[in-house]
Each structure stands twice: as C-alpha cells, then as structure tokens.
Amino acid sequence: MLESNQHSIFQTINAASPIDKVGVEERVARFQTRSIKDDAKAQGLKMVLSMIDLTTLEGKDTPGKVKQMCFKAHHLHDLHPNLPQVAAVCVYPSMVAIAKQALKGTSVKIASVATAFPSGQSNLEIKLADVKLAVDSGADEIDMVISRGKFLSGEYNFVFDEIAMIKEACGVARLKVILETGELCTLDNVRKASDIAMYAGADFIKTSTGKIQPAATMQVTYTMLLAIKDYFEATGKMIGMKPAGGISTSKLALHNLVMVNEILGPNWLHNKWFRFGASSLANDVLMQLLKLESGSYQSPNYFTLD
Amino acid sequence: MSNLEVLKTYKLYIGGAFPRTESGRFYAPVSNQGEVLGNICLSSRKDLRNAVVAARKAQGPWEERSAFNRSQILYRIAELFSDRKEIFLKEFQKQGSSPEEAVLEFSTTLDRIVYYAGWCDKYNQVLSSVNSVNSSHFNFSTCEPMGIVALIAPQNTALIGLVSLILPALAGGNTLVALASETLPISAISFAEVLNDSDVPAGVINILTGKQDEIAPIMASHMDINALISSDLGSIENQIAEACIDNLKRKFTYTEDFNQPESQGLTFIADLQEIKTTWHPIENIGGSTSTY
C-alpha cells in the first residue's frame, strides 16, 4: 500500500518551501505583544488548564507519585470552584495501570510514552512491545519518539514506516509523534519531520521529550503549526499539536494559544487538538488565576508540591 | 579632551541587573534647595513582582551559605562603600545635607555595615537556647530567617535609614525587596551599585524607587513576602497592617532616628528570625547515664 503512494507523499513532503528563520522569529515576536485583558486572560488561563498533559517522566517515579499526580489532575485546587480538569496525565508504560486505577470514573485521559522513550534507540520489535504494554494497560494516547538518528542520516522511509507501524499497533489509542526538535538542528528538518509524521498517520505532533534543550520554543511550535495548516488544506484532516518541555509560565502558555488561534483558528482551541506537555505549568496558571481573583500576588507555598 | 558632562541614569536594581521600570513611568523629585535630582523610575506592581521572584530564587542559596561567608560578604560591602566616599558625599549634599551632615551620615552608615557584618556568625548563638522540659527530650530552639523581607525605607534619610534596615535582614539570611525613600532616592541606587560590585549574590537585595502609596499596599498583600518593615507609614499605616494579615506577614515599624550611633542592635536581626524548636527524644537527660 505504502509503495504506490509513497512517491507522491514524498513529493509533497519535499515540496515545502525552505523556512525563513529570521521571518519566523519576527512573526513569533509579534505573538508576544498582544495585550490580553483580565477577562480574556481568566478564560485563557482556564483553557490552558484544560489543555495540560500533567507529566511525570522520571526514573524515580513511584506508584505513589503517579497516584498523587492523578489526584491533582482532577482536583487542581479544591479551594477554587469551577476549575476544569487537565486533559490527561502522561506517564511511562509501567505506570499506566496505576494511573488507570487512580483515574477511574474521571474523564482525564491517560497518555503513555513508548517506543524506547526518550532516545528511541531500540529495534522495532521492542518498540512495538513497548506500545503494546501501554495500550494493554489502558493508555488512551501513545506518545512515541521518532528515530532521530535515522532521520538525520536521511533515512526518511525508515522513519515513515516506523511511525506507520506504531500507529497500527496503537489501535484506537491516539498517536502523538514526538519529533524531539532539539536534536533536529534546523527548522527545515522540523518541517520535514512534521510532514513525515502526519502523512504516516500521526494524530498529534509533539515537539519534545522534555529531556533535551531547547524544547518547545515558539519558533519550533510555529513551524509545526504551519505544517499542520498545510496538511489540513491538502487533506482536510485535522492534526493535533502538543508543545512540550520548557513551557512553565502562564504568559508563555497564553502566547502559544494566541499563536494557535491566529494560525489554525478557533477550531484548534480545544484539548482534542491542542495540548501542553508540562509538569510545573499548572501551578503557575493556578497562581495567576487566583491573583486575578484576589488582586494579590500568590506564593507557591499555598499550592501543591509536585 | 572633552568637557562634556555625562549624567547618570538612576535605574532599578532587580535580580542583579539595573532595568528601567517596565511601566516606563518616571518622576522628578526636587531637593530642598530646589534642584531636580533626576528622572527617577516610578516602579509599578510588576516591577515589585519581578523583584519578589528574584528574591525568592536567591533566598535558599543565601540562607544556606555559611554564616561566616555571609559575614565576609557584608564586610565586602563596607569595603566598596568606603571606596566611593566622594560619590556619596556629593549625592548627600545634592539631596540637601550640609557638608558636615553628609560626612556624618557616611561614617555612621559605614560603621553600621561593619557592625552587622560582625553579627552574622554570632546572633544564632545568642538567640538560640537549650530548653529544660519535663520529659525525656533534648529540646532546643534555633533561628531561621523569615524569607523575603519587604522594606519601605524611612523617608527622611538618603541612605542611613535604608542601610540600617537592610543590613540586619541580610545578616540574618533573609532576602530583601526595598523601596527607596520617595523624596531622596538617588543614593539608594548608588548603594545598589555598591552591592552589585561586592559579592552579594544577584537577587538577594532588590531596590525599587517610586511612590510609597502605590507600592506599599502591593507589598503588604503579596502572598510570597514574609515580613514587612518600615518607619512610620503615617496615614496608610492601618491599611498596610490589615493587608499584611492574609499570609500572616510579620510587620515591624521602627521609629528610631537612625542617624544616632546607638540605633542598631541584635533586636533588628531577631525581629526577622523565626524560632524553630526541636524535640529530640532521648533517655534520661541530665542524669549520670545520659550521653548528652
């Protein structure tokens, strides 16, 4: 199936014009100068909360830590009524079953990283088994990493086929493809990897693992959003976007929403199509929301320790 | 050769840098001789917020430095301050002091810095105690810094009031966000330059300029500020005291004349310390078989 289509797909992928880095920087700078008034800010901040994938991806994760995070996912700040839940929690495959148990009866989704996260340095068999473990344990979403080494050596077919096979293994789970843009070196590569991921079957494209710097810079997210726009115009299919890593302040999150709205439009302003991968963003947003309400600047002392 | 006079821009001191106020506002205080002191930044609430973020970041590392090291750093402030005597004398006189008053304020300030530098590694021994309790516990109390201290500098002095309240807070391991005297602000910023050139880590002291009526209420209601110290705030005193309640901020008002050599002491350090008492279970304290 792939072989007959591949020629035309790769023509499309290679057809994207080169990225003008200086132009991107200027455009991105303009998203950061919008004046957002208090009412809009409060709504925007609540939207940010509803789009967060609350994340813990550490070697030292324990069932206790995961349970605590799951509790937080649907009790963001009990002293403040009318807060949304976060969109999902994001954990390692070994923690999916624990998260599933902890989130029973809530609408919070479970995302699991897989495919030898974060490096992706393993063979296909093991990557598929990793995905199977996560899916069988109850993950609703799979965050896979692409093989950056293969990508950078020009083996685009390999990367494409791998994503397609992982997608097949996901079944009904939605697939987020992590490009790890910090290792792709140029925005042209980011664009190319985005196109490969989308044509290979990604439901979401995601910037980073959070383990490599730089992670979700606005320049990179901008480039990926444009790729999503072009893909939508070519195929009519909506693809989700997930910047992850380095978005820890409300201000930056709001800038990202402004950017999504201006490039993709309001249809993407929903947690079905846009997510933030973050661990410390939620508390900052909560602090800003309470500041708007009370008029006083807040202290981290009165929010959860994650 | 050029005879062009280049005027200094007085800016804020936040997180070890000298930014202008984000609000872009300024005011031009006038000395009692009618001379305009300069265009001074009129800080906004966002400048205060940024200063508190910088202070919070600096708090842990400053507190964890050894007391002796803090003492060395405070002494280093005195060294650099002493080195810039001419600048400060000129500024004091520009702000309305007579030459004699200027020399006196300078020397009192210098003495005060050295005085508190000496206290850094001693106050904890004096304020701490081993307590007798009627159970098998080794019970002791020690000092811990309160955290971020907001300081509203006395209005009537250019520097001695500010320094007399900054130094004891620093000696005790606190970080500070200070608002300079509204009418006499320029020496405070020159002092920030001294701090920046000494070994005080970025963010440990942050100095703003602007209107007391604007900044003081925001300081008082800020949940991440742990104490607020000032001279008498006059008509806004009660309003400020009420706003401090939300996070149980410690509030101290000092009415001393800081020009006097005796307006210093351990009490200024002690006011900004929390006392932590530890109950350590042991057998038979004080008995012949006790290992304590």
Burial of B132 (C-beta count, 10 Å sphere; 0-12/13-18/19+)? exposed
For A59, half-sphere exposure in the C-beta direction (CA atoms, 13 angstrom radius) is: 2
Domain count, chain B: 1
Whichever domain contains B129, its CATH number is 3.40.605.10
Contacts of B221 in chain A (CB under 8 A): 295-297
Are B200 and B71 within 8 A, CB to CB?
A: no
Tell me whether strands A88-91 and A109-114 are parallel, antiparallel or unpaired.
parallel
Pick the more confident residue, B239 or A16: B239
Contacts of A295 in chain B (CB under 8 A): 221
CB of A298 within 8 Å of any CB in chain B? yes
Give which of A187, A124, A190 is closest to A151, Cα–Cα. Answer: A190
B148-152 β-sheet, strand order: B205-208, B175-179, B148-152, B227-230, B250-253
pLDDT of amino acid B1: 64
Within-domain flag for B11: no
Q: What CA–CA distance (Å, rounded) separates A97 from A104?
A: 11
Q: What CA–CA distance (Å, rounded) separates B21 from B9?
A: 12
Mutation target to probe the A interface, by most A beta carbons within 10 A, among B44, B224, B240 is: B224
Are A263 and A219 within 8 A, CB to CB?
A: no
List A53, A167, A206, A284, catalytic entry: A206
The answer to whether the CB atoms of A297 and B224 lie below 8 A apart is yes
Q: Mean pLDDT score of chain A, rounded to an integer?
A: 93
CB of B57 within 8 Å of any CB in chain A? no
List A143, A195, A203, A284, catalytic entry: A143
In order of A39, A67, A247, the CA distances from A62 in angstroms are: 39, 9, 24
pLDDT of amino acid A102: 96
pLDDT in tens, A61-83: 999 999 999 999 999 998 888 89
pLDDT of amino acid B289: 62
A272 is catalytic: no
A2-302 CATH choice from 3.40.50.720, 3.40.190.10, 3.40.50.2300, 3.20.20.70: 3.20.20.70
Q: Where along chain A do its domains lie?
A: 2-302
The answer to whether the CB atoms of A298 and B52 lie below 8 A apart is no
Would the pLDDT of A17 be above 90? no
Contacts of B246 in chain A (CB under 8 A): 296
Within-domain flag for B141: yes
Within-domain flag for B197: yes
A251 is catalytic: no
pLDDT of amino acid B288: 63
Q: What CA–CA distance (Å, rounded) separates B162 from B153?
A: 5
pLDDT in tens, A229-256: 999 999 999 999 999 998 999 999 999 9
Within-domain flag for B80: yes
* % of chain A with per-residue pLDDT over 90: 88
pLDDT of amino acid A1: 43
Contacts of B223 in chain A (CB under 8 A): 296-299, 301-302
pLDDT of amino acid B290: 59
pLDDT of amino acid B7: 81
- Residue-level pLDDT, tens digit, chain B, 292 residues: 678 888 888 999 999 999 999 999 999 999 888 888 889 999 999 999 999 999 999 999 999 999 999 999 999 999 999 999 999 999 999 999 999 999 999 999 999 999 999 999 999 999 999 999 888 888 999 999 999 999 999 999 999 999 999 999 999 999 999 999 999 999 999 999 999 999 999 999 999 999 999 999 999 999 999 999 999 999 999 999 999 998 899 999 999 999 999 999 999 999 999 999 999 988 765 666 655 5
* Residue-number span of the structural domain to which B41 is assigned: 26-281
| CA B265 to mean position of chain CA atoms | 15
Cβ contacts from A onto B, under 8 A = 25
> Chain A: residue nearest B218 by CA?
A296
Within-domain flag for B204: yes
